[in-house]
Amino acid sequence: MQKRILGGTNYEVSVVGLGGIPIQRVDKSTAVDIIREALNQGMNFIDTARGYTISEELIGQGLQIVGREKFILATKSMVRTYEGMLEEVKTSLQNLKTEYIDLYQLHNVRTMEDFKFVMSEEGALRALKELKEQGIIGEIGISSHGVEVLEAAIDSGEFATIQFPYNAVERQGEPLFEKAKKKNIGVIIMKPLAGGAIRNGEQAIRFILENSNVSVVIPGIDSVEQVVENAKPGIDELPLTSEDREKLEAEATSLGTQFCRRCGYCAPCTIGIDIPNNFIFDSYYTRYNLQEWATNRFKSLSPWAKDCTECGECEKRCPYDLPIINMLKEVASHYDF
């Protein structure tokens, strides 16, 4: 597995790491198998978060068996206050069954108002800086879906890493990554498959790794098979062919910009609609000519798109500012039951 230095840290990270969002869906045995195979494939970087339900706990159990010292471990929290962050780190240490965390990140800082608060005397950054001085965390990072926020984070000089979505569809971060590289700040790439919307994962990851400003890409993984598949672009270093590029560009064009990345931040729906799955199933209906398959899946959902009460809570939480209510109406219009 190729390795790159993570910005100004001393961490030499595998160019493909383990994204911890979907691991919350598996059992302990599978989690251990995933982490063991990640090590076998040369991955040494794991990224998770307090917000990913039991992801930290499962990874912690896996690291106990496979070996904590073999990985550079990153997690993050959406808590914004000083006191709250001290408690969050304590919980992360317990969940991950470790005495230290290599990289702790401010998670999904959405607005400049949020950014200014976390940077204030009462904000979460002060807690992380104190914990770094104590040797409890190694480095401090920040994740966001907003370019403006990460521009400010880079300029502040307070962060060793930034984390941002990047793939063949979403390329708005490229100037940001160049700026980060010049300031010796590590660049962690989330959503490399646009939340699963891009179907050819191997080519999607190769596209990202061609950008020398990127430090590590963290595709979400919930099976041993996915570990092997996602590791391959980081091992064999094959460049994209012209045919590969044409396929990726065609897929990116077909997706446009208004699509769900399956981040799950819209949840919970006030009446229990599984919003991401509604969009996923409908993509098979509209883009992949699998109408019968999608229709059968929709019949198993309750409640589903047509039951939306238009309360708007999901739209407030969506980091991409998607018009979820109208998108659910569009989904419902495709079916006559």
What are the catalytic residues? 52
Q: Which pairs with CB-CB distance under 8 Å and at least 24 residues apart come from 300-307?
A: 301/274, 301/277, 303/271, 303/272, 303/273, 304/273, 304/274, 304/278, 304/332, 305/273, 305/278, 305/329, 305/331, 305/332, 306/332, 306/335, 307/271, 307/273
How many residues would you count in the chain?
337
Helix or strand run (H / E) with residue 115: helix 112-118
β-pair type (3-5, 12-14): antiparallel
Looking at residue 273, its amino acid is I
CB within 8 Å of 326: residues ≥ 6 apart: none
Q: How far apart are CA 110 and CA 269, in angstroms?
A: 20
Angle at 143 (CA atoms; ends 130, 82), nearest 5 degrees:
30
